[in-house]
Every structure is written in C-alpha cells, then in structure tokens.
C-alpha cells in the first residue's frame, strides 16, 4: 500500500483532511459538518473550530468532480461592446448570481465557426449550461445546438420546430411599430439602415420594414434603404451613402449603434433631428437616452429576454428531461425627441464640417 494520504493539499493549503485531523474526527464527519448535514453538537463545534483555525475553504474543482456540476453558466454573444448585450448580460447575471452560480462570458465576434467550436467545447463540462445569442444560424449550427452535451438556451429566432429552448421577440413587429409611429407623425419618405441581410435579425427587420410600409400603402424607394454592419461606424457610413442619393424625412435603424451612427451622419450633413429627419433606433439601450436629441427606440426587451433565458436555463439544468420550451417577449416603442412630429417650417440648413 502507498504512503498515507497527506493532510495538506499539494500547495500547502488545508483540506478536509487537515480539518478532520485537527478536530480529531474522520473526514466523513468533517465533510458532513462542513456541508451542514448531520453531526452531533460536539462534533459540529470541533469541526467548525478547526476549519476556522486553519482557514479552510473547500476546493471547487474537487467538489465539482464529485457533484458533476461546476455552478458555472456561460453566455456567448457576438459583441460584448454592444450595449444591448450589456443589458442582457446584466439581467442574466442577476438571475444566475441569485442561484449561487457564476457567469462566464464569451465573445464570438459573430463568427459562426467560433460559435460551433464553443458549443462543442461544452462537452468538456466546464460549465453547467450556456445561453447563446447567435445572429447567424446554419444547419450545422442547429445540429450542434440540439445535441449539445449540456443545456443550452438560445436567445433569438429559431425554426418553429427546433427542439431547443429559446427566447424570442418579434423584431418584424418592432420595426412596424417604428414605421407606424413615423407615418402617424406625418413622415412619408422613410428610410431604413439595416444590418447584414444574411443574419437572422437583419433579414427579419428587412422583411418587417417592407411589410410595414406596404401596410400603409407606401411604395418603397430602394434608394432609401442601406445595409451595413450592426455597428456604429457602419451605420454612419451607410447613412452617408443613403443621404448622398436620397432625401428621407425619417430613418429607421436596425439597432441603436446604427442609429447613433445615423445621427452623427445627419448632423454632420447639417440635417436637423427631428425637424428635417426623424430618427428611430432599435433595442432601446441606454445609448439612445445618452444622445442629444434623445433617440426614440424600439425596445425588444433585452433585459427581459435575458432574464427569461436565464430562468429557462436554470430550470433545464435542474431537470434536463423537460420538453423544449419557448418564451416570447413583445416589442414596444419608446418615443423620444428624435422623432417628435416635424414642424412644418423647414429650418434653414447650414453645412457643418465634421
């Protein structure tokens, strides 16, 4: 038989053995007391005392190996810098922390291979579950989602029959809210600055825009539509291109970052907001409220979606046999200064150098 087990861990820190020896009890008793199950008053006292004396802290790894759970949950989003994900993350973190778990954040950069790789790595069990908000979804991706070795919840649109927990919103309807509002306040030449059409949200918002305009009997002038990334710079550049060839009296933007870019482009070109051009963003992030004028924005309930996703995930972790579930959060419109009704007195324009 090999040498007797030491009472200290490799790096000299106390283990259950240290505590047990010091308290004069078995490791089993020590462990029980430390976990608050069983133990005579006397044993409890001795073990607690010994633990405090040596500054015992349980090793999370060893505990995980035994319990098969890490108490860690991951979140994978495209762009950690986008305020919409910050809000979602905050909501998720709150729920996750309340359950005594910790949140691990991954930035995928929207690269899909990156994301499937992440999904596959889940197999090594370093987290108990994952929330992922993909902007592109391929068949490959979907497969990886379905037979993920650990619970996964998707925030975003997924095929109706996809057997994966998911939390969705209706961004088509969200765009319609924006268009309806603009039409109601007298705008007619409504432009649209969108993100990539090969993304799920990009495609949905494009469809939403076209449908909404048609519903009002407005014929879409393709010159009023531009596409870029879901980023500030792309939004600004796309708006510049649009303004170079068309004269919108309102602009709907596919997210707030784009809207801020659009605002920049409009102001740089000497357009007044909302007098000349009304502006509506999407996601209703704090960024929208930071602008001057404050930006109207369609809320897609990002915090709420985050919260729901976290709850779904925790439930599934608790009971993996649950059937796939689906939660839906309705969009709403926050009207602010950037889309106040146009005064019918066109203000004198003055070119401003950026």
Partner DNA sequence: TTGTATGCGTTATCAG
Partner DNA sequence: CTGATAACGCATACAA
Binding site for a copy of itself (CB under 8 A): 10-11, 13, 55, 57-62, 64-65, 68, 70, 72, 80-81, 83, 86-87, 89-90, 93, 102-107, 120, 123-126, 149, 232, 260-261, 263-264, 267-268, 286, 290-294, 337, 354
Give the nearer residue to DNA in terms of CB position, either 13 or 111: 13
Give the nearer residue to a copy of itself in terms of CB position, either 92 or 333: 92
Residue 322 touches which of a copy of itself, DNA, none (Cβ within 5-8 Å per kind):
none
Contact 172, 211 (CB under 8 A): yes
Residue 105 touches which of a copy of itself, DNA, none (Cβ within 5-8 Å per kind):
a copy of itself
Measured CA angle at 123 (ends 119, 126), to 5 deg: 95
Per rule CB under 7 A, is residue 69 in the interface with DNA? Answer: no
Choose the binding region for DNA from 13-21, 218-226, 240-248, 258-266 (rule: CB under 7 A).
13-21
Start-to-end CA distance of the chain, whole Å, equals: 80
Give the nearer residue to DNA in terms of CB position, either 45 or 349: 45
> To the nearest whole angstrom, how small is the minimum distance from the Cβ of residue 124 to DNA?
8
Q: How many CB atoms lie within 10 A of CB 190?
A: 26
All residues at 6 or more sequence positions from 296 whose CB lies less than 8 Å from its CB, including other chains: 178, 181, 278, 279, 280, 281, 288, 333, 334, 335, 336, 337, 338, 339
Give the nearer residue to DNA in terms of CB position, either 12 or 217: 12
Give the nearer residue to a copy of itself in terms of CB position, either 91 or 242: 91
Closest CA to 162 of 311, 314, 324, 308: 324
Contact 272, 249 (CB under 8 A): no
Distance separating alpha carbons of residues 264 and 272, to the nearest angstrom: 11
Closest CA to 182 of 345, 343, 339: 339
What sign has the CA pseudo-torsion 103, 109, 114, 116? positive
Per rule CB under 7 A, is residue 332 in the interface with DNA? Answer: no
Choose the binding region for DNA from 26-34, 157-165, 231-239, 294-302 (rule: CB under 7 A).
26-34
Binding positions for DNA, rule: CB under 7 A: 1-6, 9-11, 13, 15-17, 25-29, 31-32, 34-35, 37-40, 42-43, 56, 58-59, 62-63, 65-68
């Amino acid at each position: 038989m090999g040498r007797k087990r030491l009472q200290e861990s490799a790096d000299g820190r106390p283990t259950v053995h240290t505590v047990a020896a010091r308290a004069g009890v078995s490791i089993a008793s020590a462990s029980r007391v430390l976990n608050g199950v069983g133990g005579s008053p006397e044993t409890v006292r001795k073990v607690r005392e010994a633990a405090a004396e040596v500054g015992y802290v349980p090793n999370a790894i060893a505990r995980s190996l035994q319990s098969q759970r890490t108490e860690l949950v991951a979140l994978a989003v495209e762009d950690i810098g986008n305020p919409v994900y910050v809000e979602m993350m905050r909501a998720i973190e709150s729920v996750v922390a309340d359950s005594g778990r910790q949140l691990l954040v991954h930035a995928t950069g929207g690269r899909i291979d990156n994301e499937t790789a992440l999904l596959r790595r889940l197999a090594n069990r370093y987290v108990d579950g994952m929330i992922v908000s993909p902007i592109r979804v391929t068949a490959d991706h979907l497969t990886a989602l379905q037979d993920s070795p650990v619970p996964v919840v998707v925030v975003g649109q997924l095929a109706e029959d996809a057997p994966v927990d998911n939390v969705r919103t209706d961004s088509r309807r969200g765009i319609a809210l924006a268009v309806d509002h603009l039409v109601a306040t007298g705008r007619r030449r409504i432009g649209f600055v969108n993100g990539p059409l090969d993304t799920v949200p990009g495609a949905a918002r494009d469809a939403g825009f076209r449908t909404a305009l048609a519903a009002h009997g407005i014929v879409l002038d393709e010159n009023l539509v531009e596409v870029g990334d879901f980023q500030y710079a792309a939004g600004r550049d796309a708006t510049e291109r649009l303004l170079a060839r068309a004269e919108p009296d309102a602009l709907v933007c596919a997210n707030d970052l784009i809207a801020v870019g659009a605002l920049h482009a409009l102001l740089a070109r000497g357009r007044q907001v909302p007098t000349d051009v009304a502006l509506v963003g999407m996601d209703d992030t704090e960024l929208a409220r930071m602008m001057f004028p404050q930006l109207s924005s369609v809320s897609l309930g990002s915090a709420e979606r985050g919260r729901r996703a976290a709850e779904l995930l925790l439930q599934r972790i608790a009971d993996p046999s649950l059937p796939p579930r689906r939660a839906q959060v309705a969009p709403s419109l926050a009207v602010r200064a950037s889309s106040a009704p146009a005064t019918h007195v066109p203000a004198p324009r003055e070119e401003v150098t950026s």
